[in-house]
Structure 1
Amino acid sequence: MKASSRPNGKSKPSFGKVIARVVWMSVKLLIIPVLCVAALIVGLAIGFSVLGDKPMAEVFDMKTWKHMYDLVFAEGA
Structure 2
Amino acid sequence: MTVTTRSSDQKKRASGSSGRTILRILWTSFKILIIPVLCITALIIGLAIGYVVLGDKPLSEVFDAQTWKHMYDLVFAEGS
TM-score (norm 2): 0.74
Amino acid at match of 1:57: S
Give runs of aligned pairs for residues 1-77 of structure 1, distance below 5 A: 12=14, 13-14=17-18, 16-77=19-80
Taking the aligned partners of 1:43 and 1:57, their CA distance within structure 2 comes to: 15
* Greater share of helix: 2
Q: Deviations over 1:3-49 (max 9, x none)?
A: xxx99xxx5412x2222111100111111111111111101101100
What is the alpha-carbon distance in structure 2 between the residues aligned to residue 54 and residue 22 of structure 1? 44
Indicate the percent of aligned positions where both proteins have the same amino acid.
68
Please tell me the root mean square deviation across aligned C-alpha atoms, in Å: 2.0
What secondary structure is seen at the aligned counterpart in 2 of 1:18?
A: helix
TM-score normalised by L of structure 1: 0.77
List runs of 5+ in structure 1 lacking aligned partners.
1-5
SS in structure 1 at match of 2:62: helix
Extract unaligned runs of 5+ from structure 2: 1-5
**Corresponding residue of 1:3:** none
